[in-house]
Amino acid sequence: MHICKYIEKFSTLLFFLLVFFANKGITAAQCDLSVFEDQETALSIPMEDYDPVDVELLPTFVKLGPVNGEEYSFYADFYLKSSWYDQDLADLLFETSDDYVCRLEGQDAYGKFWRPGLEFLNSRSLDETGYDKFTISSDGFIQNERRVQGYFGADLNFKKFPFDSQVLSISIIPYFDDTMVTLRGLEPAEEWTRSLNFSDWKMTETSGSATSSNFKSSSWENNFSTYNISVSLQRIPNYYVIKILTPVFIMAILALASFLLSPTTEDYDTRTSLTVTLLLTVVAYTFIAGDDLPILSYLTFTDIFLVLSFMACVLAVVAILAERSFKVYRERKLEVENTENFSVDDFLERIDRYLGVFFTVIYLGSLTLLYIWI
């Protein structure tokens, strides 16, 4: 029994010790701002042997999208960790301190010590009031973690909508040129977007690339190290295929199938009402489906598909009216000439079959070429 009590007390003590040291590691002390009185040392660029400062980037995405086709932009919400080494700053901070690490709010760090001044080349609007913290270690390792929320411009292409693929990119650039700062990302890139889930997109690739951007004016020209974060997405077209493309395709095929009805019998009225009804239905459906389609300055696959389907229905109606008009005209002419009209019915039967096959082949062939070409 005594042994059990000692074990219980030891376990309790060990638990509190673990909690204490864990809190010490997590809640690091605040950096002493009074040391920043030596502004010349704190604000100097930490370059060694004139080599540029190597800044490592690690983005972690929380949300990506929606994609706005009208404004060619997308929304992104992510945490960006940037880290570099500045031993002079660490020596200044921990010269009279026993701590190994300290933290500092981003707003308090402004103007106190050097930082790369990261900006986003393709940003449209950003929320600058989010999470922003610095962690400084005694070995000179500096890490800044900030939350970036806002809209970014993108080169979007919706020509194959809803079978389109998009690449959403965010370009990061420092305040200093490439002789002072170089940017690189921490791999693997797939970890950056692990927490993302999409309902209407399939993420195919996440990548990062280091490039250089040239800026110049009348008095200067510099190259800046640029890091591009790219996320490739492929649209899941199920909603648009089921709700728009399939119903319209079926209606167009039914309109072309009206050529199976004889143009010389009492099927004329049934055939006419069928094709006209389908034509009006396609028109109404096009207006209704417009609410689900992006508004763009150019035609997409879906727009051309709707136009071709509409034209198929129009041709079916025009063919019926033309055949009927030709039959009435020939019957009156033959009646005047007192000649039997069996040749008119045979002619219309043959023409009707040829037109039905011709229009159907043209419609299906056009859709196939559209899908391949666009």
Helix (H, G, I), strand (E, B) or coil at 353: helix
Q: What is the mean pLDDT of the chain?
A: 83
Which among 236, 253, 277 is the end of a domain?
Answer: 236
Region 278-293 average pLDDT:
84
Assess whether 102 and 11 both reside in one domain.
no
CATH number at residue 272: 1.20.58.390
Q: How far apart are CA 283 and CA 250, in angstroms?
A: 14
Helix (H, G, I), strand (E, B) or coil at 157: coil
| Cβ neighbourhood burial of 272 (10 Å; 0-12, 13-18, 19+) | middle
Assess whether 108 and 74 both reside in one domain.
yes
Helix (H, G, I), strand (E, B) or coil at 48: strand
Assess whether 40 and 153 both reside in one domain.
yes
Token readout for 212 is 């250089």
pLDDT at residue 144 is higher than 90: yes
> φ, ψ for residue 58 (rounded to 5)?
-140, 95
**Angle separating helix axes 342-373 and 246-257, nearest 10 degrees:** 160
Asked if 34 contacts 104 with a C-beta cutoff of 8 angstroms, the reply is no
Assess whether 114 and 157 both reside in one domain.
yes
Asked if 46 contacts 53 with a C-beta cutoff of 8 angstroms, the reply is yes
Which among 202, 236, 270 is the end of a domain?
Answer: 236
Q: How far apart are CA 83 and CA 86, in angstroms?
A: 10
Q: Label residue 3 by pLDDT band (50, 70, 90).
A: low
Assess whether 183 and 35 both reside in one domain.
yes
Q: Label residue 22 by pLDDT band (50, 70, 90).
A: very low
66-86 residue pLDDT tens:
999 888 999 999 999 999 998
Token readout for 80 is 């960006």
Structural domain total, the chain:
3
Assess whether 217 and 291 both reside in one domain.
no
pLDDT at residue 13 is higher than 60: no
CATH number at residue 47: 2.70.170.10
Asked if 158 contacts 235 with a C-beta cutoff of 8 angstroms, the reply is no
Largest CA distance in the chain: 129
292-317 residue pLDDT tens:
788 888 889 999 999 999 999 999 88
Assess whether 304 and 230 both reside in one domain.
no
The better pLDDT of the pair 57, 337 is held by 57
Dihedral, CA atoms, 157, 160, 163, 165, nearest 10 degrees? -20
Assess whether 18 and 44 both reside in one domain.
no
Assess whether 221 and 318 both reside in one domain.
no
Instruction: State the pTM of this model.
Output: 0.79
Q: Is the peptide bond before 174 cis (omega within 30 degrees of 0)?
A: no
β 181-185/53-68 pair status: parallel
> Residue 296 belongs to what domain range?
239-373
SS3 content of the chain, % helix, strand, coil (to 5): 45, 30, 25
Q: How far apart are CA 362 and CA 356, in angstroms?
A: 10
Assess whether 243 and 342 both reside in one domain.
yes
| Cβ neighbourhood burial of 245 (10 Å; 0-12, 13-18, 19+) | buried
Distances (CA, A) of 227 to 16, 45, 81, 177, 345: 45, 20, 13, 13, 74
Assess whether 142 and 116 both reside in one domain.
yes
Helix (H, G, I), strand (E, B) or coil at 279: helix
Q: Quick one: three-class SS letters along 59-118?
A: EEEEEEEEEECCCCEEEEEEEEEEEEECHHHHHHHCCCCCCCEEEEEHHHHCCCCCCCCC
Assess whether 363 and 273 both reside in one domain.
yes
Which among 206, 236, 266 is the end of a domain?
Answer: 236
Q: Label residue 262 by pLDDT band (50, 70, 90).
A: confident
State residue 209's pLDDT score.
93
Of the ranges 140-149, 231-240, 286-295, which one carries the lowest mean pLDDT score?
286-295
Q: Label residue 366 by pLDDT band (50, 70, 90).
A: very high
Q: How far apart are CA 374 and CA 289, in angstroms?
A: 21
